[in-house]
Structure 1
Amino acid sequence: MGLVIIFALTSLLAGYGTFTALKNKNVLGIVFGAGSFAIFGWFTVMTVLNHGYPVAH
């Protein structure tokens, strides 16, 4: 459960960073922000699908 929260917060912050980099036209920030958003977002979705929400024992 805690891992899903950490992944979700990280992906939300990466999404915000990508949006900010888009406004500032920062290409390197866009690349790393979008990559982080995609990876951590994928980890979040797959962790929820694999372990359930809330955790089912």
Structure 2
Amino acid sequence: MGLVIIFGLVTLLAVYAVYRTIKDKNLLGFAFAFGTLAVFGWFTVMTIIESGYPTVH
């Protein structure tokens, strides 16, 4: 349950990093930010598919 939240937050930060590196025209930063976005975005999607959304108690 907490894993989905953590992966989601890292994915959102990676989206911001991709936007910022494109704006600053930093190609190496873009490569790392996009790689992070691809990996953690995939983990987020697959964790949501496998485990579902976090439940409210």
Length-normalised TM-score, structure 1: 0.90
Alignment partner, residue 16 of structure 1: 16
Q: Which has the higher contact order (CA 8 A, sep 6+)?
A: 2
Is 1:35 aligned to residue 46 of structure 2? Answer: no
User: Does the CA contact (< 8 Å) of 2:2 and 2:54 recur in 1?
Assistant: no
Alignment coverage as a number of residue pairs: 55
Q: CA RMSD in A?
A: 1.0
Structure 1 runs of 4+ aligned residues shifted over 6 Å read none
Q: Which amino acid in the other structure matches residue 13 of structure 1?
A: L
User: Does the CA contact (< 8 Å) of 2:4 and 2:54 recur in 1?
Assistant: no
Report the Cα offset of residue 54 of structure 1: 3.4
Q: Give the fraction of aligned pairs with identical amino acids, expressed as a percent.
A: 56
> Unaligned stretches of 5+ in structure 2?
none
> Unaligned stretches of 5+ in structure 1?
none
